[in-house]
Structure 1
Amino acid sequence: MTNPLLTRSRLPYELPPFAELTAAHYAPAFDRGMAEQLAEVAAIAADPAPPSFENTVVALERSGALLRRVEAVFGNHAATGSTEEIQRLDAEYRPRLAAHRDAVLLDRRLFARLDALHRERHQLGLDDASLRLLERVHTDFVRAGARLDDAGQRRLRGLNEELAVLSATFERNLLADTAAATVLFDTADELRGLAPDAVAAAALSAESLGHPGRYAIRLKLFTNQSELAQLDDPAARERLFTASVSRGRESNRQIVPRIARLRAQRAALLGYPSHAAYVVAEMTAGTIEAVGSLLARLIPPAVANARREEATLTEAAGRPLEPWDWSYWTERVRGARYTVDAAALRPYLELERVLADGVFLAAEQLYGVRLTERHDLPGYHPDVRVFEVTEANGAPLGLFLADFYARPGKRGGAWMDQLVPQSGLLDQRPVVVNNLNIARPPHGEPTLLTLDEVRTLFHEFGHALHGLFSDVRYPYFSGTRVPRDVVEYPSQVNEVWMLRPEVLSRYARHHLTGEPLPGHLVAALEESRRFGEGFATVEYLAAAALDWAWHTLGAGDDPGDPEAFEAAALEAAGVALPLIPPRYRSTYFAHVFGGDYSAGYYAYIWSEVLDADTVEWFTGRPGPLRETGALFRRELLAKGGSADVMECFRRLTGRSPRIEPLLARRGLS
């Protein structure tokens, strides 16, 4: 059998040859990839020549090319088209990959070479990026346990392997629970309030699940499902909300505290008081006190804002609210107060137009890049579209893959991945993918979006631009490989262009008549922007507080029952509002128990401090917008992780970031 993963792809930009791939290719490719890298590492460690930057650090950067390629393609497959076979492979190889990483990072001979170079780093004559690479790689080895004794390393390997197994199990359970929790309705009347195209999409979804004549709403990853804002039937809203918050309640109930305990034990082994302290030491926040201070500053005004909103909504409803009522009455009040009807907006937000004349147009206006669909290049699923990205002068830049629709086997939420990271050392241009979970309309019907879905498109494309604009030598620093608490910064900046008049006027047009969004609705959108920020901020801060509570536990702490722990954590943080549950509860908090945001969910608000300040700089700077975009691209987006992001920000704006623009944006001034 010829395995297409074993050699570099011959497709443009090394796009993975998806049309040739089957699940049977992964196991042998993983096995060979790990074996190859271990042989490469052994050769580096045993090199008789004295350690140098080239024969040690650069050689390490070049190692593992096959394994990186396999991990990228398999990780994307597991997230976008999981099957029983893929889940079995994930369960088998996730702990094996954790053990493999330990084998590299705990290699004593290799670390001795790195340590010797690190001691003499300022005498090596390295350029800034090379010096930073040496320092970062050395730090990675130390933080991975390279200085532990043999017993400590054995204990660490065991912890890492068990954590890998538990994380894979958490994700597998959540995927199954989310699919099982799909809410079925018997009649269209139960869905009254939803737009006709949304009802048609629910009918199509039910039919695809084997329930013709019924209506299905698939759950998105977060707690408050978007349909709650439109469903007129309180019983339908309650069913949808209850299904959402019940996910993982049984399947992940024991896994969550076990993961938290093991992470705390690993942190203690490495010399840190908690997993949060371990994580934040390498983030721009620097200390747990800095994160705690930010959350403590934001929570009281956010809660006060939410309570004012609650009073307004309760008055409008004429009765006490339930958690599943909040979004619904928010839209009713917003419509009455600001004449903004979310359902009335959707005919003006058609996916193809938003993409071409909104998301892509904004990138062209700001940065000069153009995207052209390549129908000749294969995606990994029929839904996937491939676009070539070029500079204004036609020079090739990379590929952008778009995968927008929900389907069975695809995890919830929205995200960006790098299938091929940009690297001058490896002569690679970027290939990036954006994933969303938009409900598929019936065949031949347009895909009409909510305003939140439009925002998500702009947000995720901001991540894509971060990867596409990467201009670094070393793959370690490519694209979004920056500290976790600033990775959301460029994507959040990109959201601002969705309501810029010169962009909005191009894409917000009625899908049948082509008429632009009426002027009074444009004005009302801007006026209503802050209404609902109390809910949105509290919902987010509650999830951040949960993440923080789980990961500030000490090695000897027993969190006990997760629901009781949650309740106590929210109360202690001051965000225990019965009507505003956390954006994610622990048993379906995939960011931190299945992904790599553990002790890092605060990153969104931390990044938004930079984002809000940068938007003020962007919009207040004199001169053509293209010049400002070029400066932002050159001084920040292109750098990836090769320079300190905070230093890049200061060079860009001429000062340190201020929190005041964020407070004003969220109505917390």
Structure 2
Amino acid sequence: MANENPLLHPSTLPYGMPDYTLITPEHYLPAFEEAFAAHRREVDAITRVRSMPTFENTLVPLEESGRLLGDVARTFYTVSSADATTAIQEIDEKLAPLMSAHNDAIQLDAQLYWRIKTVHEQLDALDLDAEQRYLVERHFREMTQAGAGLDDAAKERLTALNQRLSTLTNTFEKNLLADTNDLAVVFDSAAELDGLTDGELSAAAQAAADRGLDGKWAVTLTLFTGHPYLSSLTVRESRRRILDASRTRGSRGNEHDNRTVLLEIVCLRAERAALLGYATHAEYVTSDETAGSPAAVHDLLRRLAVPAARNAQHEKAALQAIIDTEAESFPLEAHDWAFYTEKVRAAEFDLDRAALRPWFEAERVLRDGVFRAATDLYGITFTERSDIPAYHPDARVFEIHNADGSALGLFVLDLYTRDTKRGGAWMNSIVSQSTLRGTQPVVVNNLNVPKPAPGTPTLLTLDEVTTLFHEFGHALHGLFATVTYPHFAGTNVYRDFVEFPSQVNEMWIYWPEILDSYARHVDTGEPLPAEVVAKIHASETFNQGFATSEYLAAAWLDQSWHSLDAAAAASEIDVAAFEASSLSEVGLDEPAVPTRYSSTYFAHVFSGGYSAGYYSYIWSEVLDADTVEWFGENGGLTRDNGDRFRSRLLGVGGSNDPLDAYRDFRGRDADIAPLLKRRGLAD
């Protein structure tokens, strides 16, 4: 079987791209089993060495080990998040505890830990370069934090906790995907969707047809609480149905209910933190992030919450004033906010964001916006490779070359939503760069844009344009990181730093020559009028009270769950009551401004990698806003600026402390003032 399994042989495609045309679901588990065994043999060979530990006989072979497992895992997890068929979900469910057990077997290996600890103790006496020294420090720190120094009984309990948590987080994601699909809102007539564009109606009709509901319209849900259509739907009941469906996900008392799942996750994470010597899971997580402690996180969130909540109340009053002028007045509710926000925006700024979509045709945004900015800034070029198959027909492959013509890597774009794809948008790697292994990067961007009927252009909202630029910032980080050791490849940096490069890339959306290049009317080719651009800029801080409040509410909710100690987490908790109490504590309990994610569909923290770390978006935005100011002060979109940002920040990957890398780029620590100004919170 090994001879017939394509996952157990090097790919013949460029850049080591897996040949998904040869891979079937039946190949994955046998490949993982062989990869686990191979990795275990490689680590055993390190620990059997009789001579004293050195960098060369311990750290180098450790970095060489696990290559097959990494290749198989990245190949599988790309599919399990973007095309999770029933067969793939079943594999994922079986695999979760196996992967956890294997990772623990490596991370908790006492002999391996002793060897790394011995090298770490001799660090100042060793002749190592900066990356090698940092590699020793990180391996020692990570194994210590993982529990490698615990006694055998504690390790046994830790392993059991990790395996159970891996199963629960997988269950949470599976439940959320199923409930999100089940709760797609079906409408019987197009009149109920009055206000949507022809393209949006086409996407809704196609979504219904895909469910066997010909002649109807289905609105699929986004990962976050709100929905882009809420800003334009004129029928209030339709808006209510969509938001109600979104907010009930994972809490309906059916087989997809996530409340019991998330409570057990919280409880086990708290127990694990205590076992590892930390008071809470939040303390455990932030101890190895740039924040350093929950107190630092709470300080930032509270500092922003007060002015954000205040601004949201001003915005609410403005919306209510609009409603009160209508024939039938009513108190503003959450499902009304986006719709009346656009009315206020139109009144104050004469700006209709929904009407901008004809200027944001997806292909042009990609090629003349996202790619153009990267070419102007970094000199890289893009060539679509239709001869290299991806994991799904909708996923497109592009080869990227540096300015000198040298090959850089592959970029895969998977734009459209489907029932087998998890919600949200993300970047991941299929192949990681490493000079030690001689590999070049293959990175993926996933979005969830509704797919229109064949022959209909894909028109993006301004938010979707922002997401495309944002995720490509992650892709650039993964492509540009040039490191020796795979441990530092791509976006393997602190969680509360990882969003920084992607947020910086959003600045090019409105850069004049880039905007003029991509924002062209789909039918006439006319550029977005200058007066409209001016109105967009004038409205940049508009509705930031809402936007900041809904984000901070989710970040605070994450911190609240993960600031429970083991005893509190094990007590009987009502999820809805806990949420209400937590948001009240920080003044973010305004019913018209719901949290961006409620607990039962908060995938970032209960099935993703952001537990006790959702704050990282705003934490990174401090650096981002300060960096945008630097670009503005230094000439903006120039190759010199791009080369500096690439070499001193993106290019180092995880091979340096990220704040040291930032200081090297900026010449000082970041200032919070540009962020406060950007979000209208400075006063």
Query: If the TM-score is normalised by the length of the shorter chain, which range does it land in?
Result: over 0.9
Q: Distance in 2 between matches of 1:14 and 1:275?
A: 38
Shift of the alpha carbon at 1:299?
0.3
Structure 2 residue aligned with 1:640: 653
Matches within 5 A, 1:466-615: 466-557=477-568, 558=571, 560-615=573-628
Q: Distance in 2 between matches of 1:152 and 1:83?
A: 37
Structure 1 residue aligned with 2:261: 255
Shift of the alpha carbon at 1:623?
8.1
Where in structure 1 are there 5+ consecutive unaligned residues?
Answer: none
Q: Deviations over 1:68-107 (max 9, x none)?
A: 1111111111111112211111111111110111111111
Structure 2 residue aligned with 1:410: 421
Select 1:332's aligned residue among 304, 322, 343.
343
AA aligned to 2:183 is A
Structure 2 residue aligned with 1:130: 132
Matches within 5 A, 1:277-426: 277-318=283-324, 319-426=330-437
AA aligned to 1:486 is F
Q: Distance in 2 between matches of 1:343 and 1:567?
A: 33
Q: Distance in 2 between matches of 1:511 and 1:103?
A: 55
Structure 1 residue aligned with 2:115: 113
AA aligned to 2:74 is A
Shift of the alpha carbon at 1:157?
0.8
Structure 1 residue aligned with 2:212: 210
Q: Deviations over 1:523-559 (max 9, x none)?
A: 1111111111110000000000000000010011126
Shift of the alpha carbon at 1:343?
2.3
- In structure 1, the residue corresponding to 2:408 is in which secondary structure? strand
Structure 1 residue aligned with 2:39: 37
Whether the aligned pair in 2 keeps the contact of 1:257 and 1:559 (CA below 8 Å) is no
AA aligned to 1:576 is D
AA aligned to 2:385 is R
Structure 2 residue aligned with 1:439: 450
> What is the TM-score with the length of structure 1 in the denominator?
0.99
Structure 2 residue 461 is the aligned partner of structure 1 residue 450: yes
Q: Deviations over 1:438-484 (max 9, x none)?
A: 00111111000000000000000000000010111011111110000
Whether the aligned pair in 1 keeps the contact of 2:377 and 2:637 (CA below 8 Å) is no
- In structure 1, the residue corresponding to 2:444 is in which secondary structure? strand
Q: Distance in 2 between matches of 1:201 and 1:116?
A: 60
Q: Distance in 1 between matches of 2:536 and 2:146?
A: 49
Shift of the alpha carbon at 1:144?
1.1
Structure 2 residue aligned with 1:220: 222
Q: Deviations over 1:312-369 (max 9, x none)?
A: 0110111320110001101111122212112210011000000000000000111111
Whether the aligned pair in 2 keeps the contact of 1:559 and 1:565 (CA below 8 Å) is no
- In structure 1, the residue corresponding to 2:259 is in which secondary structure? coil
- In structure 2, the residue corresponding to 1:514 is in which secondary structure? coil
Q: Distance in 1 between matches of 2:216 and 2:347?
A: 33
Whether the aligned pair in 2 keeps the contact of 1:362 and 1:497 (CA below 8 Å) is yes
Identical-pair percentage: 52
Shift of the alpha carbon at 1:155?
0.9
Whether the aligned pair in 2 keeps the contact of 1:7 and 1:66 (CA below 8 Å) is no
Q: Deviations over 1:203-245 (max 9, x none)?
A: 1110111100000111110001111111100000000000000
Q: Deviations over 1:485-534 (max 9, x none)?
A: 01000000000100111100010001111011112111111111111111
Structure 2 residue aligned with 1:276: 282
Whether the aligned pair in 1 keeps the contact of 2:84 and 2:420 (CA below 8 Å) is yes
Q: Distance in 1 between matches of 2:659 and 2:536?
A: 33
Aligned residues: 669
Whether the aligned pair in 1 keeps the contact of 2:544 and 2:680 (CA below 8 Å) is yes
Q: Distance in 1 between matches of 2:227 and 2:458?
A: 18
Matches within 5 A, 1:90-101: 90-101=92-103
Q: Distance in 1 between matches of 2:354 and 2:518?
A: 17
Matches within 5 A, 1:79-90: 79-90=81-92
AA aligned to 1:150 is D
Compute the RMSD of aligned alpha carbons.
Answer: 0.9
Q: Deviations over 1:301-321 (max 9, x none)?
A: 000010010000110111320
Q: Distance in 2 between matches of 1:599 and 1:363?
A: 32
Shift of the alpha carbon at 1:393?
2.1
Shift of the alpha carbon at 1:193?
0.5
Select 1:627's aligned residue among 599, 616, 640.
640
Shift of the alpha carbon at 1:645?
1.1
- In structure 1, the residue corresponding to 2:21 is in which secondary structure? helix
- In structure 1, the residue corresponding to 2:413 is in which secondary structure? strand
Whether the aligned pair in 1 keeps the contact of 2:631 and 2:637 (CA below 8 Å) is no
Q: Distance in 2 between matches of 1:622 and 1:13?
A: 35
- Shift of the 623–410 alpha-carbon distance from structure 1 to 2, 3 Å rule, reads closer
Q: Distance in 2 between matches of 1:438 and 1:373?
A: 20
Structure 1 residue aligned with 2:327: none
AA aligned to 2:46 is I
Whether the aligned pair in 2 keeps the contact of 1:375 and 1:385 (CA below 8 Å) is yes
Select 1:266's aligned residue among 258, 272, 275.
272
Matches within 5 A, 1:179-190: 179-190=181-192
AA aligned to 1:313 is L
Q: Distance in 1 between matches of 2:199 and 2:420?
A: 24
Structure 1 residue aligned with 2:21: 19
Structure 2 residue aligned with 1:667: 680
AA aligned to 2:438 is D
Runs of 4+ in 1 over 3 A off after TM superposition: none
Shift of the alpha carbon at 1:51?
1.1
- In structure 1, the residue corresponding to 2:680 is in which secondary structure? coil
AA aligned to 1:16 is P
- Shift of the 382–663 alpha-carbon distance from structure 1 to 2, 3 Å rule, reads same
